[in-house]
A and B are shown apart, each in its own frame.
Chain A
């Protein structure tokens, strides 16, 4: 077996496959299970200041023709107070990052401070700032497309905690590099890209939008080429100085390698879990494929990063 331990900045994880935010991660038991089934790390569902029940259903629709998911869950969460209690139940060996959303730098600070105080026994590997959810008002994309606001939020988080700050960006923007640049100059420890792409669906019989929120975000295989392009552009601009976590439509070892050749340090997987009764098979397939590819190429995992640029 090739060494697949991965370093994302200062964070070492056992393999480069991370469970993405918004999939499974609402409870301690699923985070434990996902880690036990092989993920290198797991990401929680995004948490905010107050409890939110999310948008009316239908809020998650699978589109088999393009193996993709259209969702407008709307950041449903129990609020940071209750959620930190949930996270205290996570097994100590589990490497997890906490996804956070907010509408201002003070909201982010408040949540991070509370998490820092409450999770002392089992500190997260990172806080992943969700500056990219496309289907909730005043948060996510609403703050994540303005480079100045991104700078303020990331800087505010960095002064408040020693836990690494990862920033998840949206592809729903003309120039993602300027937002990434703001995040990096404010001290972001890694960039995670991409979040879902704004999308919708209309029922032709009743002639109405299907999602309860009218529009939502698309994830899954259809968006993979978009994610690869974003990672490629970010690596082109920032080189190996900043870790990049690639996410969007990865469901095989070939997809994972494509992202890594584009410049990703690690990858996240979410929607692909729909094809598996347990994540174990998916994660193992990708790790085995990666290992065999590295053996054939005679390269180490870290040597693979960004090779498509040479």
Chain B
């Protein structure tokens, strides 16, 4: 059993800061009570409750001193849209941290691939890798368009190498992050360095990444966050987010999975499930 401390019953905290990253995306800050010692791991998530509305899973975007915690929310449904109408000082219920996060690993090079909102949980692993390891870090930062390359300035102020790409060519390479990844892995073959791959973004992109890392036999060294899927309970009981294949849950066994595990998940990259359990094509 996971011995990590966790808030089980929603704890209502005030929004201490709210910063818009783009038109439909904002980062919310909260101060966790000091005595909780939650020690969240990058890739883990909280359930964020908007009283009177609904509760949604949101990956941790950053945490400082185990106290100031941040979540980046993009408006894509009714509840996330309502979150973006909140103000500093409003109350939000938090429970978590939940799920299986990213492993730091002992590999020499970290390749991080972000697609759109996928940068949010990866921002937390990047800061963790910078503060705790000497790894060479390479970020492939992709989005549909320039305005959706969130945290660009913040990440530019670090020492990591960044390659940008946009679907519409408005900034950086005109194309998908997977093309850059393939190029990098081909070049890396000539150098005798070990690699760990961290990725988060649309599931179609993650599927593309899995196909590429398979070609390089790196599936065991590739970690994927499937945080985009529907989650209800957060602790593996209700069955709403279980994946086809071997019967793993997103909320407890995931949201971070290694590539060799994802290979056994038969609906990965093709079907998701909504709140009533029906399948829908991705």
A contact residues vs B (CB 8 Å cutoff): 22-34, 45, 51-54, 56-64, 69, 71, 73, 76-79, 82-83, 86, 201, 203, 205-206, 208, 210, 212, 270-271, 273-277
Contacts and interface: CB of A to CB of B under 8 A. Distances in A.
A22 B236 contact: no
B91 A26 contact: no
Given A206-B51, A276-B1, A58 B10 contact: yes
Interface stretch (B188-196, B213-221, B274-282): B274-282
Dominant secondary structure of chain B at its interface with chain A: loop
Contacts of B8: 61-64
B232 interface: yes
Interface of B: 1-2, 8-10, 12, 47, 49, 51-56, 91, 93, 95, 232-240, 242-247, 252, 273-279
Contacts of B252: 277
30 contacts: A23-B239, A25-B239, A28-B244, A29-B242, A29-B243, A29-B245, A29-B247, A45-B239, A45-B277, A57-B232, A58-B95, A61-B8, A61-B9, A62-B8, A62-B237, A63-B8, A71-B238, A73-B238, A76-B275, A78-B277, A78-B278, A82-B278, A82-B279, A83-B277, A203-B10, A203-B51, A210-B49, A271-B237, A276-B1, A277-B2
Contacts of B52: 208
Contacts of B232: 54, 57, 59-60, 73, 76
B247 A53 contact: no
B55 A212 contact: yes
A205 B9 contact: no
Given A23-B238, A273-B236, 6 more contacts: A27-B273, A28-B244, A64-B8, A71-B233, A76-B232, A210-B93
A276 B253 CA distance: 11
A37 to B, nearest CB: 9
Contacts of B275: 53-54, 76
Contact of A27 (B1, B49, B237, B247): B247
A63 B243 CA distance: 26
B12 A203 contact: yes
Contacts of A34: 247
B237 A24 contact: yes
A57 B9 CA distance: 12
